[in-house]
Amino acid sequence: MSTTGLAEREKETSGAALTGERAKRPSVLQRFAENRFALVSAIFLIVVMVAAISAPVIAPYDPTRITIGTELQGPSLKHLLGTDPNGRDVFTRILYGARISLSIGVIAMLISVFVGTTLGAVSGYFSGWVDSLAMRLTDAMLAIPVFFLLLAVLASLGPTVPTIVIAIGLTSWMTTARVVRSEVLRAVNLDYVLAAELLGASRGRVIVRHLLPQALPSMLVASTLGVAQAILIASALSYLGVGVQPPTASWGNMLSDAQSYIFSEPMLAIWPGLMILFTVLAFNFIGDALRDALSPYQN
């Protein structure tokens, strides 16, 4: 935000004070849309999501059926991105892969935000031993190499989509917990919270209705960045073979298929990777822009 922006804002507020009108400060959405990267990212994600949802309609082929005689074809009008070693259409598999990869990212994020928010809110509200226990747990989870824990868990529970989602969700809530806790701590002594308590509101109600709304902006940022992280981790697990299992297409396991053909067919490895990169990049850009848009007076 430049100095002219500040001056304008001052003018607007003083004008509003004079006329008694509401100040026309740019809304969060407007500030968000000012960031061109974030806007492009949002459009990209919407396109990918719509394509993923309508994959059964728009995908030209079956994503898993192995056909003989069409292996490893280059891009053509029939096969936009060519075919894989099993004769399956790469474009179709990218579309279906988007369904899996995006769902895993979003659901894992929801779990991690739920756990992180609960833990953060409870520990911020009830200080004392509850707080220190929750925070030591958070520190511990941050200090250990979680990826190896994921490998161990998926080895013992078996790599199905639900276990992957739950395992990622349960190992990635730490940032949210910390952020929510600090927001709750900041709000817990404000007058309106004390007023609610004096009026006899239950602890649960105080947390959910009065404290969590304060943490909502930070939760929104953390969850956007969380989807990005979850997609990256899930794709890595699938690539290593302990994630989504073939024949189901995910962007990660498409890449592990492609690796054996990397010398002869390097293009096979490029498309799924670009999809992961752009999707994760988009979520990161949006998260960053949200952070700026939601806290306009920082920087």
Residues that bind another protein (CB under 8 A): 139-140, 142-149, 151-158, 228, 232, 235-236, 239-242, 252, 255, 258-259, 262-263, 266, 269-270, 272-273, 276-277, 280-281, 284-285, 288
> In this structure, which long-range contacts are made by residues 169-172, counting pairs with CB atoms below 8 Å and at least 24 apart in sequence?
169/107, 169/108, 169/109, 169/110, 169/111, 169/112, 169/115, 169/230, 170/111, 170/112, 170/115, 171/141, 171/146, 172/108, 172/112, 172/146, 172/226, 172/229, 172/230, 172/233
Compute the distance between CA of residue 271 and CA of residue 260 in angstroms, rounded to an integer: 15
Q: Which is nearer to another protein, 19 or 298 (CB)?
A: 298
Q: Which is nearer to another protein, 151 or 220 (CB)?
A: 151
Nearest approach in angstroms of CB 250 to another protein is: 12
Nearest approach in angstroms of CB 288 to another protein is: 8
Q: What are the tokens at 127?
A: 């200080």
Q: Which is nearer to another protein, 53 or 236 (CB)?
A: 236
Alpha helices in 65-173, H assignment, sequence order: 90-125, 129-143, 146-157, 161-170
Compute the distance between CA of residue 2 and CA of residue 239 in angstroms, rounded to an integer: 45
Dihedral over alpha carbons 134, 140, 142, 147 (to 10 degrees): -120
Non-local CB neighbours of 114 within 8 Å, separated by 6+ positions: 173
Nearest approach in angstroms of CB 211 to another protein is: 27
> 10 Å Cβ neighbour count for 60?
11
Nearest approach in angstroms of CB 275 to another protein is: 10
Q: Which is nearer to another protein, 207 or 227 (CB)?
A: 227
Nearest approach in angstroms of CB 58 to another protein is: 25
Q: Which is nearer to another protein, 39 or 196 (CB)?
A: 39
Nearest approach in angstroms of CB 231 to another protein is: 9
Q: Which is nearer to another protein, 221 or 255 (CB)?
A: 255
